Structure 1
Amino acid sequence: MPTVAPIDLDDHCLCVAFVGDAPVFALASGLVVRLDHGTHRHELHDGLLAAVTTLDGSSLVTGGEDGKVMRLDADGTETVLRPAARKWVGAVAAGPQGAIAFAEGRTATVLMADGKQRAFEEARTIEGLAFAPKGLRIAMARYNGVSLAFVNGAAPAVDLEWKGAHTQVTFSPDGRFLVTAMQENALHGWKLDGKPGDQRHMRMTGYPAKIKSLSWSAKGKWLASSGAPSAIVWPFASKDGPMGKPPLELGQRADTMVTAVACHPVEDLVAIGFGDGMVLAVRIADSKEALLRRPGKGPVTALAWNKPGRLLAFGTQAGDCGVVDIAG
């Protein structure tokens, strides 16, 4: 039977993660709380907007309304990657070879591990950032599509156009697909490995609400998403991804919406957070459900598994946070 260790942080939790082995909770105020043999509080920003873990899980990178970009290491060390500035940092991303990217307005900046920097300018505000899983290539989501650029190359960025506002962007783990969340309650995807002339667009529509949470399954066969009364899980195993195939609908509830999803790091299993604070785990193969947390205060806004997949951290809009041990 799963056991829950609660922590009440009394503020909107934007992001949860495991840094090293310790759960961390990043709050909208700019406070990051780290649970590591006690409760450690790190005042990183005057207003937090974005947070992401590095690929090796050793650090949390954050951006805020104060224009700062910060890194919090597993031992509690705080590093200023970019000091306070005039523009808000609305998106951050972590990539291969220790690369970090952040977006402020129409500019994205990539910071390399060796201290080199590269800036990319767009005509419209950059809303989302993602690194390709291999090679230093960055995707920048904006109005009317995504720009794809090689960090170390001189070639101009490739434009993937689709009308509308694109607010998040993610690569599939194998790098074959790129998917964005849109302002208009839909996902849009591009097939990146097709031959010239192939149908490269994928439209994933029909959501009743905005999609705020996306998560790839361990091997990249599935993409789970929020924005409906169940977790909408799209199939990506075939060469054409979800084109012509219906999604799975997991954890269906009649009276509340799915607000956060997190796929298990090993098994084909999805943790699903709801608008009333409930958290379920659902197996993709047979839709079998396990209750991880009963309803609480506020919608679930963030979910994250630790690397072995035994612990699940959760955060809510009301700061009603905690860690679930699924083995009890």
Structure 2
Amino acid sequence: MPTVAPLDLTGHIVTAAFIGDTPFFANANGTIHRLDGGEKVTEAHEGLLICIRDPHSQSLLSGGEDGKVLRIAADGSITIIAEAPRKWITQLAAGPQNAVAYAHGKSTVVVLADGSTKEFAESRTVEGIAFAPKGLRIAAARYNGVSLHWVATPGQPVELEWKGAHTSVTFSPDNRFVVTTMQESALHGWKLDVKPGSETRHMRMTGYPAKVKSLSWSPKGKWLASSGAPAAIVWPFSSKDGPMGKAPQELGTRANIMVTSVAFHPAEEILAIGFVDGMILGARLADGKEALLRRPGKGAITSMGWSGNGKLLAFASEAGDCGVVDISA
């Protein structure tokens, strides 16, 4: 079995992620912990609500109850990106060219590298945001669908409509699909690469017993893994129409113990699967082969993040029992 280096923190840990070879753990109380020659702590927020790894730079982005959007560097130093007094920052996205987006209420705000901002008003409260992998384009999930905005050029947004509450949004790495999680324990997707003037095709991905809280794309975007069932539900996206008319794979099935977090390996089609009881499994898509990465712990797995070389996996739980798994051991 791989070796596990445990780290016991107090409280709900929102995010586990690597910057380089250093694991970071973001605590809901507003502190950021990193294992860098011992445990080091950065006081970031008065109540942390969201923390994400910026895939375009060696940093994390965080938002809090104090209305601040922060960038946290590998050495733990902090830069304030934006401040929205009396607002709770629950949505964040990292874009190309050092762009950062955050949302509050019915507004999506994009902060560009030069510090200038663009604000986009939505018809309903913004529940999730994401940048497209190519071009400076942002998606905002809301009630009854998603709005797509080009950041640099004025014009009307593209509206992707589907009735119901959409709670988060993601683009496929190849830019061909947009997928949302929904309040009703389902995913919904739209195909973007349609001929101009023709209607956007969409797809429903249903059958989940619980709400989907975690999504992860495989390295080349052929698969989308999701939580919300007693197995990781992995949808195929390699064909022209993605998962339309296709059944998903189920990995790491455990009778009635729910998957709470999923994280694809950065280079291989191997999926880390975290469960409500704190167990973590590794599963290979090609043959479904499984390996136990961590035995059950004190609380549900809330987040997992791979190191750049894919040899280490940081994990966090809602009970504060965190750690790093060395899969090369």
State whether TM-score is above 0.5: yes
What is the one-letter code of the residue matched to 2:161?
Answer: E
1:253 and 2:250 aligned:
no
What is the one-letter code of the residue matched to 1:212?
Answer: K
Does the 8 Å contact 1:186/1:211 carry over to 2?
yes
- Which residue does the alignment assign to 1:192? 192
Deviations 1:155-185 (A, max 9, x none): 1111111111111100000000000000000
Distance 1:100 1:183 in 2: 26
Amino-acid identity (%) = 63
Does the 8 Å contact 2:88/2:104 carry over to 1?
yes
Deviations 1:240-280 (A, max 9, x none): 00000000000000031000000011000100000100000
1:41 and 2:41 aligned:
yes
**What is the CA distance between 1:84 and its match in structure 2?**
5.5
Following TM superposition, where does structure 1 have runs of at least 4 consecutive aligned residues deviating by more than 2 angstroms?
195-199
**What is the CA distance between 1:203 and its match in structure 2?**
0.3
Which SS does the other structure have where 2:120 is aligned? strand
Which stretch shows the higher mean deviation, 213-222 or 81-90? 81-90
Which SS does the other structure have where 1:49 is aligned? strand
Which SS does the other structure have where 2:304 is aligned? strand
Does the 8 Å contact 1:18/1:57 carry over to 2?
no
- Which residue does the alignment assign to 1:291? 292
1:156 and 2:156 aligned:
yes
Does the 8 Å contact 2:192/2:200 carry over to 1?
no
Distance 2:68 2:115 in 1: 17
**What is the CA distance between 1:199 and its match in structure 2?**
5.9
**What is the CA distance between 1:56 and its match in structure 2?**
3.1
1:235 and 2:236 aligned:
yes
Does the 8 Å contact 1:256/1:274 carry over to 2?
yes
Does the 8 Å contact 1:132/1:138 carry over to 2?
yes
Deviations 1:37-86 (A, max 9, x none): 12111121111111112223411110111111111101221111123611
Does the 8 Å contact 1:54/1:60 carry over to 2?
yes
- Which residue does the alignment assign to 1:82? 82
- Which residue does the alignment assign to 1:16? 16
1:307 and 2:308 aligned:
yes
Distance 2:112 2:57 in 1: 17
Structure 1 unmatched runs, 5+: none
Does the 8 Å contact 1:54/1:98 carry over to 2?
no
Does the 8 Å contact 1:70/1:78 carry over to 2?
yes
Closer, same or farther in 2 for the Cα pair 1:57/1:22, shift >3 Å?
A: farther
Structure 2 counterparts to residues 102-141 of structure 1, below 5 A: 102-141=102-141
Distance 1:234 1:34 in 2: 33
Equivalent residue pairs, number: 328
**What is the CA distance between 1:138 and its match in structure 2?**
0.2
What is the one-letter code of the residue matched to 1:107?
Answer: S
Does the 8 Å contact 1:67/1:85 carry over to 2?
yes
Which stretch shows the higher mean deviation, 294-303 or 10-19? 10-19
What is the one-letter code of the residue matched to 1:218?
Answer: P
- The RMSD of aligned alpha carbons is 1.1
What is the one-letter code of the residue matched to 1:189?
Answer: G
What is the one-letter code of the residue matched to 2:267?
Answer: V
Which SS does the other structure have where 2:193 is aligned? coil
Distance 1:27 1:239 in 2: 41
Does the 8 Å contact 1:19/1:58 carry over to 2?
yes
Distance 2:244 2:84 in 1: 44
Which stretch shows the higher mean deviation, 30-39 or 291-300? 30-39
Distance 2:301 2:53 in 1: 19
What is the one-letter code of the residue matched to 2:78?
Answer: E
1:226 and 2:224 aligned:
no
What is the one-letter code of the residue matched to 2:286?
Answer: A
Distance 1:272 1:289 in 2: 10
Deviations 1:103-143 (A, max 9, x none): 11111111111121111111211111100001000000111
Distance 1:115 1:47 in 2: 25
Distance 1:218 1:280 in 2: 19
TM-score for both structures, normalised by structure 1: 0.98
